Structure 1
Amino acid sequence: MAEEVKLLKTWSSPFASRVVWALKLKGVQFDPIEEDLSNKSPLLLKYNPVHKKIPVLVHNGKPISESLVILEYVDETWKQYPLLPEDPYERARARFWAKFGDDKVSPSLWSFIIKEGKEQEEAFAQALENLKILEEELKGNKFFGGERIGLADLALGWLAERGCVVEEVVGVKIVEKEKFPLLSAWMKAFLEVPIIKESLPPHEKLVTRIRDIREKFLAAAQPK
């Protein structure tokens, strides 16, 4: 019986992108299934009845949800190109930085995108503090995983993938090379990896999507 791997995703989801990258780095063949989250398919509701969100990896009929959980499952199932180091301490650190990206970096940048005035300034200040922490962690390394891409890099890959998109939409430079030389070099190196480069969402399409989302949030925040 042939192995069956499906990935329920959307083209613009950074959480889905990290799973796509992991599967491709490992050379795993999979069937990408594009979901419309405004009209969720019976398949998505069947395989992720709890959160009803993407991504969902379906391996031989068994669904796995939540992108960081999926990354670990992928790493444990397909041993080629390990995403996590063998050393337990280093594995824990990789998990920590992946979580830091989701819990701290992403929310602060998202607030920066959808806020205005003082709230936006505060979000930007917090985002810069979080980026400084990432800059410090990269000292002596090309990637967060060392000399090649690992789990933490995939988890933080959205920053490289759409950092310039956010800058274009908001009109403010976020990752300045002078302030964040290591982070800037990491973003460049990450995006130059062929498997990553070929799997990026269309730039202009993503700019339009993020801009539309920003405008909707700002319009909703206006006094009635």
Structure 2
Amino acid sequence: MADEVILLDVEYSMFGMRARIALAEKGIEYEYREENLADKSPLLLEMNPVHKKIPVLIHNGKPVCESLVIVQYIDEAWKDKSPNFLPSDPYARAKARFWADFVDKKVYESGRRLWTTRGEELETAKKDMIDALKLLEAELGDDSYFGGDNFGFLDIALITFYSWFHAYEYYSKLSFEDHCPKLIAWAKRCMEKESVSKSLADQNKVYEFVLLLRKKFGTG
């Protein structure tokens, strides 16, 4: 009996994109269901009653919530399928998880402030974002990917934000490539992978989506 895999998601979510990349990397077929967060489906509310958020991976009727947990679950549930996202060494695994958590705490929050704030708060957000990206660039070093020669867990965690970089740069007047050229080279390298390029939302469409959000929330 084949696995039943359903992904509840939103096209422009950098968190949902992580699940899409992980599924594509493993070659897992699944049903994609786009959610309307203004009118959440009964299935979403049933499958994630705690946070009521996407993404939710439903594997044979059982829900898995939170994007990094989903990526790890996919890695473990289909461990017979290559590639493996997390390294076998316990310390290397711990480091990958640490930096992925850093992405969620620092990159996401700074990025959100880049398009929702003005004035002094925006200037602080710009500094925080560049500081965070520089730390990640230092962690990458001269490797092809954060997993060394292999595209892995931290690469999946971070690359989805690349689809939002155009919007971030537009509203902050920053050039990430000027500040972090190695990191942008890494992002372009990741985009050469079909699993990534087909899973990420188009940067221009994300910008249009952010424009709508700014109007909706009165920050435009």
**TM-score over 0.5 for the alignment?**
yes
Q: Is the partner of 1:205 in helix, strand or coil? A: helix
1:104-129, CA deviations, whole angstroms, 9 ceiling, x for partnerless residues?
Answer: 11101211211001110011111111
Structure 1 residues 161 and 145 mapped into 2: Cα distance closer, same or farther (>3 Å)?
farther
Alignment match of 1:107 (pick from 109, 120, 124): 109
Alignment match of 1:125 (pick from 102, 109, 127): 127
Aligned amino acid, residue 212 of structure 1: L
Number of aligned residue pairs: 218
1:172 aligns with 2:169: no
* Residue of structure 2 in register with 1:59 after alignment: 59
Instruction: Tell me how far 1:69 sits from its aligned partner.
Output: 0.7
Query: What is the alpha-carbon distance in structure 2 between the residues aligned to residue 35 and residue 202 of structure 1?
Result: 18
Whether the aligned pair in 1 keeps the contact of 2:8 and 2:57 (CA below 8 Å) is yes
* Residue of structure 2 in register with 1:46 after alignment: 46
Query: What is the alpha-carbon distance in structure 2 between the residues aligned to residue 145 and residue 137 of structure 1?
Result: 10
1:146 aligns with 2:152: no
Aligned amino acid, residue 56 of structure 2: V
Instruction: Tell me how far 1:72 sits from its aligned partner.
Output: 0.7
Whether the aligned pair in 2 keeps the contact of 1:143 and 1:186 (CA below 8 Å) is yes
What pairs up with 1:62-81 in 2 under 5 angstroms? 62-79=62-79, 80-81=82-83
Whether the aligned pair in 2 keeps the contact of 1:56 and 1:66 (CA below 8 Å) is yes
Structure 1 residues 213 and 21 mapped into 2: Cα distance closer, same or farther (>3 Å)?
same
1:191-217, CA deviations, whole angstroms, 9 ceiling, x for partnerless residues?
Answer: 121221122223332211112223444
Query: What is the alpha-carbon distance in structure 2 between the residues aligned to residue 124 and residue 166 of structure 1?
Result: 9
Whether the aligned pair in 1 keeps the contact of 2:163 and 2:202 (CA below 8 Å) is no
Aligned amino acid, residue 24 of structure 2: K
Structure 1 residues 42 and 193 mapped into 2: Cα distance closer, same or farther (>3 Å)?
same
1:188 aligns with 2:172: no
Instruction: Tell me how far 1:185 sits from its aligned partner.
Output: 0.9
Query: What is the alpha-carbon distance in structure 2 between the residues aligned to residue 46 and residue 123 of structure 1?
Result: 36
1:79-115, CA deviations, whole angstroms, 9 ceiling, x for partnerless residues?
Answer: 2210000000000011011100001111012112110
Percent identity at matched positions? 44
* Residue of structure 2 in register with 1:28 after alignment: 28
Structure 1 residues 128 and 204 mapped into 2: Cα distance closer, same or farther (>3 Å)?
closer
Instruction: Tell me how far 1:134 sits from its aligned partner.
Output: 0.8
Aligned amino acid, residue 62 of structure 2: K
Q: Is the partner of 1:176 in helix, strand or coil? A: helix
Instruction: Tell me how far 1:171 sits from its aligned partner.
Output: 5.7
Superposition CA RMSD, Å? 1.5
Whether the aligned pair in 2 keeps the contact of 1:163 and 1:174 (CA below 8 Å) is no
Structure 1 residues 91 and 131 mapped into 2: Cα distance closer, same or farther (>3 Å)?
same
Query: What is the alpha-carbon distance in structure 2 between the residues aligned to residue 74 and residue 196 of structure 1?
Result: 16
Structure 1 residues 121 and 215 mapped into 2: Cα distance closer, same or farther (>3 Å)?
farther
1:162-184, CA deviations, whole angstroms, 9 ceiling, x for partnerless residues?
Answer: 2123223x16133124x312111
Aligned amino acid, residue 12 of structure 2: S
Whether the aligned pair in 2 keeps the contact of 1:4 and 1:30 (CA below 8 Å) is yes
Q: Is the partner of 2:33 in helix, strand or coil? A: strand
